[in-house]
Amino acid sequence: MDLLLWITTGFMLIGLVVLVSMKKGMKSKVAFIKENMEDEENLSKAKSVIWWIWGTTAWG
């Protein structure tokens, strides 16, 4: 039981670190998308931001 607690805590901490480290990159992608609304490159960046939002929602 003690091992399961450590595995669960480790999973949550690693997930939190990953989310916090990716947050800055996602903010810059959103700012880029807002500045260049008509650019074709925005579609791939928007998809990555959407997947990040889905991932954070599922993790939370």
Q: pLDDT for 5-19, tens place per residue? A: 999 999 989 988 988
**Gap between the Cα atoms of 43 and 50, Å rounded:** 10
Q: Would you state the pLDDT for residue 4?
A: 94
Q: Would you state the pLDDT for residue 29?
A: 85
Domain hosting 26: range is 2-59
Total domains, the chain = 1
pTM: 0.62
Q: Would you state the pLDDT for residue 46?
A: 83
